Chain A
């Protein structure tokens, strides 16, 4: 009945096997899709600076072994491996600043 509504384009939203015509909110469209934790990728949990790198390419490592030190929020954080594995790739250097979720080291 109000003109401003009819001109808007509707999208589909499926709930309970039914596709409803409706307007999707910005928040819904911008939602983050779920990603499984990949323990073979060591990522920065906060933005910060790499203070020290212990990992060496090709080296075998044990679960719990120190890989690097990431300074973030004025704290030096030991980043350790959550699995046994081999260092496949080191993507950072000492002194480098990294952003959140950046991949630092890859294991295999």
Chain B
């Protein structure tokens, strides 16, 4: 056959494979607001940068007449491309082909692109849309999942791993996203659970819809499995692009800097916080008031909103932000907020992203439910993550920093490099009300007018201890600064710490409380 014939043959083969599951299956996919797998990759990546591999992979099913079936690409599309100029490895499960079910060849294609990403030290993006294991392939399908989990774990902290859940992702399949760094979900499209509504109904008699059990909102708000929530696939892809712009290609690199920009004038830092410790405000306004272009890219916005985490830039450099949020639950630490912040801190540390912490918290949330849910174990994660992190750590204490909360929020004792405090800061073992009640208990009890004495004693305590100067006297605060100096001081501290090198003691790995 002459070359022309051969190329015509190739083109025909490609045409057949690119049809995916055929027009009927594609129609069904579109009817529920979903793009096809290939469309997703193309609309996510930079134009004309996607190159597909293993298009002609043949599925490995032999039993149940599967050998007579043609499954284009075996239900998954893999390749390389560029995302905002970054090289990336990518795969997308194709629900139109056998429901995107995971057979052995499907898995092998994913494993191959994962190995590629690890060798080339570039980010891996997975788009999940699959009915689950391909039952006809039996244990080989399970083997596929296991091999993916192993690679997710090996790649963890080496290359960024991003999971975009655009369809069902159920049973064992959900553990791959759970092992990756960031999970993106889309309203009405994402469905993630270990056991579905059917099983729950048969076994436990509890009735629940898929959306209520494992929809996007549930994972963004309640379980904390998701990091980014969007209302459409297009919005979701914009979020992925934005995230990629903040993080480095791998753990040996730094995130690409952008040109410096001043914060927007709209955010006036000295007017944001109420002096009355009991009044709330949105700490995100403080973050925006000090970061480049007032741009703050929040992670897990809806989950455990009493702590705020996310990325910002200072003088063009990516910084990880952790901040108590007085607006929600008075900014307390609890099971979920400790877990949320701790994981983010470890992410930043693994990828050389310096940490800036803003502190304003009354302490830990009291309650039987918290104690029984393991607030000791979960709270310890935060101490562990901050203590372990060797990236530059800068802390700014805005108002309250009481008790265990003060220690946990990247105090000098956990080896913050710089701790700054505003004159409004109250760094003390507990709030004046609680402290006065304990220290002057008998005086108050024996007084003629206990309420009057209590008030007086609280004022006395406030005067003496509810300020940043006691901590500053011991050197636990490096500088007391005005709000307007915050940005300049943080940028200076980051610049000074940019060559920081800290060698943790040799170990195979630590044993964090998870």
Q: Give the B-binding residues of A (Cβ under 8 A).
A: 1-2, 5, 10, 13, 15-28, 31-34, 46-47, 73, 97, 99-100
Contact = CB atoms under 8 A, between A and B. Distances in A.
Contact of B222 (A27, A32, A33): A27
A23 B369 CA distance: 19
Contacts of B298: none
A33 B431 CA distance: 26
Contact of A34 (B332, B369, B430): B369
Contacts of B331: 22
A28 B145 CA distance: 36
B375 to A, nearest CB: 13
Interface of B: 203-206, 221-222, 266-268, 271-272, 277-280, 282, 285, 304-306, 326-332, 336, 362-363, 365-369, 372, 402-403, 430-431, 433-434, 437
B431 A16 contact: yes
A15 B330 contact: yes
A31 B330 contact: no
A99 to B, nearest CB: 6
15 contacts: A2-B285, A5-B327, A16-B431, A16-B434, A20-B280, A20-B362, A21-B279, A21-B280, A22-B327, A22-B329, A23-B329, A31-B369, A34-B372, A99-B205, A100-B206
Contacts of A99: 205
Contacts of A18: 277-278, 362, 431, 433-434
A31 B367 contact: yes
Classify the interface of chain A: helix, strand, loop or mixed.
loop
Given A24-B328, A100-B206, 8 more contacts: A13-B329, A17-B431, A20-B277, A20-B330, A21-B280, A22-B329, A25-B306, A34-B372
B434 A100 contact: no
Contacts of B367: 31
A32 B373 CA distance: 11
Q: Which of B203, B267, B330, B362 has the most CB of A within 10 A?
A: B330
Contacts of B366: 15
A22 B204 contact: no
Contacts of A97: 205
Contacts of B305: 25
A13 B330 contact: yes
A16 B430 contact: yes
A33 B305 CA distance: 22
Contact of A23 (B268, B327, B365, B430): B327
Contacts of B205: 47, 97, 99
